[in-house]
């Protein structure tokens, strides 16, 4: 398989993964709903309450559509498990090429599959394997390490970033995918995100820092976020928009299910090209 084809397929996957992490699995906002005492709670309190629910998420499925800086349009259907950590995603990135790409993250490795078209260029092998441990050695930023690093993030962590919004407000009621929801909108800057991160525990700081890094890499300093929240304080749909130095971010994620079993398996070994081994062969 040529280096250009490998790079294009890796970039397509990275674009969708980055979007998942950036616009990710917010578990939402319940502004102006009633608490147990029957009293309305503020938008900020509702966002905090819903953000706390992310701790209960062990898996989720979602659909995403939009654009990301530099890589353009992306579409994907995905399922993710947090315990154990695994993800399966089928994606297209029309501005990077017509190929459909499947990504699987399992056992600490990322597998990218292009089906029969990829097999024609890789001596019958239809999957490329990126191993973070081996690809990260030797200094520099490896393609495999970059994709794996993105896959290892939990997109649900993104919901905590909205707690930093100072202008959160209710827009109104809307139906999304047959579900009655309430829509909310707000803006938040990276400076505000960094400020809030100072008060978190070590594990939360690490997750928070990874989320912020994604925006920094795109040159985005301010985000506009919209959430469509169902009656159980779960986000049914989430949209994130921002202007980066490499182009605009505008990604919408629609959640399909929560806490249902997600099983991800590595592709058969005879169909996999291991990039780490290929690179080692080239060096020798």
Laid out side by side, the sheet with 109-113 consists of 169-176, 179-189, 222-229, 235-244, 247-258, 59-68, 72-82, 85-92, 100-106, 109-113, 127-131, 272-274
The CATH number that applies at residue 149 is: 2.50.20.20
Asked if residue 29 has pLDDT above 50, the reply is no
How many CA atoms are closer than 13 Å to the CA of 132, on its beta-carbon side? 14
Peptide bond into 191 cis (omega under 30): no
Q: Residues for the chain: how many in total?
A: 284
pLDDT at 82: 82
73-112 residue pLDDT tens = 999 999 999 888 899 999 888 888 877 889 999 988 889 8
Residue 76's domain comprises 3-283
Contact partners, residue 71, CB within 8 Å, separation at least 6 = 11, 12, 14, 15, 18, 93, 95, 96
216-240 residue pLDDT tens = 888 899 999 888 878 888 878 888 8
Total tally of structural domains belonging to the chain: 1
CA dist., res. 268 & res. 98, Å (int): 25
Radius of gyration of the chain (CA): 19
Q: How far is CA 100 from the centre of its chain?
A: 18
Nearest to 154 by CA among 93, 99, 80: 80
CA dist., res. 76 & res. 91, Å (int): 4
Asked if residue 23 has pLDDT above 50, the reply is no
232-284 residue pLDDT tens = 888 788 888 999 888 899 989 898 988 899 999 999 999 898 877 777 666 65
Q: What is the pTM of this model?
A: 0.76
Nearest to 81 by CA among 58, 105, 54: 58
Give me 167's structure tokens: 């202008």
Nearest to 238 by CA among 159, 152, 157, 151: 159
Give me 255's structure tokens: 């959640």
Burial of residue 203 (number of CB atoms within 10 Å: 0-12, 13-18, 19+) = exposed
Nearest to 19 by CA among 58, 77, 60: 77
3-class SS of residue 152: coil
- Which comes out higher in pLDDT, residue 112 or 42? 112
């Amino acid at each position: 398989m040529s280096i250009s084809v490998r790079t294009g397929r890796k970039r397509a996957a990275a674009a969708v993964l980055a979007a998942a992490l950036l616009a990710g699995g917010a578990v939402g906002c319940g502004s102006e709903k009633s608490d147990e005492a029957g009293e309305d709670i503020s938008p900020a309190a509702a966002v905090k309450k819903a953000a706390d629910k992310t701790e209960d998420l062990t898996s989720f499925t979602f659909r995403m559509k939009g654009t990301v800086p530099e890589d353009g349009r992306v579409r994907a259907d995905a399922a993710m498990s947090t315990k154990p950590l695994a993800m399966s995603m089928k994606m297209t990135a029309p501005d990077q090429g017509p190929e459909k790409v499947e990504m699987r993250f399992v056992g600490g490795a990322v597998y990218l599959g292009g089906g029969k078209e990829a097999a024609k260029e890789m001596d019958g092998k239809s999957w490329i394997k990126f191993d973070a441990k081996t690809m990260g050695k030797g200094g520099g930023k490896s393609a495999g390490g970059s994709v794996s690093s993105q896959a290892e993030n939990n997109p649900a962590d993104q919901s905590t970033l909205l707690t930093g919004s100072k202008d959160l407000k209710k827009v109104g009621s809307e139906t999304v995918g047959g579900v009655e929801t309430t829509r909310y909108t707000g803006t938040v800057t990276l400076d505000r995100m960094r400020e809030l991160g100072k008060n978190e525990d070590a594990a939360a700081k690490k997750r928070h820092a990874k989320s912020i890094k994604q925006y920094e890499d795109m040159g985005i300093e301010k985000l506009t976020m919209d959430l469509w929240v169902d009656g159980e304080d779960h986000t049914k749909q989430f949209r994130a928009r921002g202007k980066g130095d490499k182009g605009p971010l505008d990604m919408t994620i629609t959640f399909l299910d929560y806490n249902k079993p997600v099983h991800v398996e590595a592709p058969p070994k005879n169909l996999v090209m291991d990039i780490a081994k290929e690179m080692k062969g080239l060096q020798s």
